[in-house]
Amino acid sequence: MSSGPLRAALLGVLLAIVAGVAFSLLDRPIEQPIAFNHRLHVEDLGSDCTDCHLYAMTGVRATIPNVEVCADCHAEAQTDSEEEALLVAHIASGDPIPWRKLYWVPDHVYFSHRRHTAIGGIECETCHGPMGEASEPMPRPFVKVTMNGCMKCHEQNGTSNDCLLCHK
């Protein structure tokens, strides 16, 4: 075998290894700094997604709650929960809570929450799954957001799949 095909074969193996490592890193479980209980807040207390994710209906990004949002209800502990004690400590210090994103969109994609929720009338659960039922932080997204999934939803709802609408 000449060196050209051998190099191509080795390059192919190397790319396969790199891709495998990259995909395994993307699928690692996500751990949150505080074990937030969505079910308690949504089902038991009647909170709405937009009570904490302030810009889900009005902005490009829904936002992850910061200490000011949490302080509206938790400036003082409401329970004996160790997790709530961690939250109250963050609030008292003013230090941001280092939440880790569970859902994200690649940098080359433009996605507007407002366009989908307020204008399109899409419920949060359509893309995020039944988060309101989760009593513990999810290690992975309920719903895996993919281009094919977005395109299928656009097709089912009679929305354009023009590449330039979403891709920068």
Q: Give bridge partners of residue 109 from the DSSP assignment.
A: 167
For residue 83, tell me if it sits in a domain.
no
* DSSP string across 63-130: ----HHHHHHHHSS-SS--HHHHHHHHHHHHTPPP----SS---TTB---HHIIIIIT---HHHHH-S
The domain of 137 spans: 30-64+99-166
For residue 59, tell me if it sits in a domain.
yes
Count of domains in the chain?
Answer: 1
pLDDT score for 13? 59
Weakly modelled stretches of the chain, pLDDT under 70 = 1-2, 8-26
For residue 115, tell me if it sits in a domain.
yes
Length of the chain counted residue by residue:
168
For residue 160, tell me if it sits in a domain.
yes
pLDDT score for 140? 93
Q: Which pTM value belongs to this model?
A: 0.78
pLDDT score for 25? 53
Instruction: Indicate the SS3 state at residue 151.
Output: helix
Sign of torsion, CA 152 26 125 109?
negative
For residue 151, tell me if it sits in a domain.
yes
For residue 85, tell me if it sits in a domain.
no
Please tell me what DSSP assigns to residue 69.
Answer: H
For residue 72, tell me if it sits in a domain.
no
Q: What are phi and psi of 162, to 5 degrees?
A: -60, 125
Q: Side chain identity at 68, as an amino acid letter?
A: E
For residue 158, tell me if it sits in a domain.
yes
